[in-house]
Structure 1
């Protein structure tokens, strides 16, 4: 199913298929401004923490106004984001070294059937270390976090990261994605998020994103904040 942005620009048609259900929209080295414009044609994985109200910074209403083109592109660049970008490549290469495989950057991907469902994969791996015999395809999500949140990563990725990765699984059709996190600059963690272990959560995330996109963003009806009445006196 194809769609258009509410501003009238066509959604990305998608190029070659790079995952079971994902087509490449933009290469990883596309200029940032073009990248930010393309992301407005759908809901991306970085939007999911806000969509699911798991972000400490943004809400579904932020996502609505951004996709409608009523907010300026977010050009804020924190020190954390800066060093996260710098460390992404060496962390991805270190994961590949530890797991005896290779990875490559990809770019912005759209679901082949629902092109508004989008995600960015940090790295794609064509020979998953979990199943070398079949040269299975997988992906790697790279994170850096400060030491104050280390406890949130004890049993796996925290909820905001889990929502993001499960959306990537939904968009791409992959059955699992690996997550790498460097905490406090020296505490390396790696996990595997599998679709089969989160079937109900994937369905819930899909339903929430669909509701926001089709009931609010596309028709231009912002969702009211919880607890706000329809009528004021």
Structure 2
């Protein structure tokens, strides 16, 4: 049966929860399937969460994490992004709810809104200057692309608006209509089904990566045993990897310090270094505000990234 919300038909979906359902029901439903934002993690384009942390979440092992200011700001600014989008486009965004794919029921999406008049969905993002280039020239960030394509796979809709405000600045607003890419949707669903089968159902964790350092520290913050026995080969291999990385890190720091010293020598008492009149890097004074110590003024090297 085709689900209809706010006069918008979504032929591939069923409504699991209304947009104003209790939070406890939302959390329970999230754990029982893969949401659109989960797919950005599985696809490897979520800079804030790894597949291992997602596995912890879906298997009920994830530690409770404090709500950060950035997370709070995202929730606060979502309605602002929506209102700016409505003002700029003249389109009206309506609330939706939690939707589930009829043909692939492990996939769900929670649209930030739907646009019945346009037959499209809506996704709002509050991001920072590091992601700004990904929203330039009519593009959308990779994680947002994966998220909205998954949402189109769940709902059957042909397009999805993605809008973003950079660093909370309403004058730095971007939006783009993302068109349905069925080949990408099929690939994402295949990846998601493999993750669900091989890791969640099989209860086998994905490989641990550097992104997992903080969550593992949080998960293991308390000492509960005096010792634990592990496989000798695994311990030896991991210790060897750590020692090699530490040595490489130390060497890299030495090389970086030497290069920085040479850059400072090139700058001398100038604030900017140019070649043929074009700026290459700066060596500016920066004032650090004092808290328990007095204010101090120092200079920092900034080397811009090479343009592709």
**Is the shorter-chain TM-score for this pair beyond 0.5, marking a shared fold?**
yes
1:79 maps to 2:69: yes
Secondary structure of the residue aligned to 2:110 is strand
Query: Which has the bigger relative contact order, CA under 8 A and spacing at least 6?
Result: 1
Over 3 Å counting, the alpha-carbon distance change for 1:99 and 1:169 in structure 2 is same
Aligned residue number for residue 201 of structure 2: 218
- After TM superposition, list the pairs within 5 Å mapping 1:142-157 onto structure 2: 142-155=124-137, 156-157=139-140
Question: Is residue 26 of structure 2 the alignment partner of residue 42 of structure 1?
Answer: no
Counterpart-to-counterpart distance in 1, 2:128 and 2:145: 18
Structure 1 unaligned regions, length at least 5? 1-13, 129-136
Aligned-pair distance for 1:219? 2.6
Distance (Å, rounded) in 2 between the aligned partners of 1:200 and 1:16: 24
Cα RMSD of the aligned pairs, angstroms, is: 2.3
CA offset at residue 16 of structure 1?
4.7
Count of residue pairs the alignment pairs up: 205
- Give the alignment's TM-score, normalised by structure 2: 0.61
Q: Give the direction of change, closer, same or farther, for the CA distance of 1:22–1:202 in structure 2 (3 Å limit).
A: same
SS at match of 1:115: coil
Return the index of the structure with the highest Cα Rg: 2
**What is the match of residue 114 of structure 2?**
124
Between Structure 1 and Structure 2, the one with more strand by share is: 2
1 or 2, which has the higher helix percentage?
Answer: 2
TM-score (norm 1): 0.79
Structure 2 match to 1:109 = 99
Q: Residue 28 of structure 1: CA displacement?
A: 1.6
**Corresponding position of 1:92:** 82
1:1-233 matched pairs, under 5 angstroms: 16-18=3-5, 19-72=10-63, 74-128=64-118, 137-155=119-137, 156-184=139-167, 185=169, 186-195=171-180, 198-225=181-208, 232=234
* SS, match of residue 71 in structure 1: coil
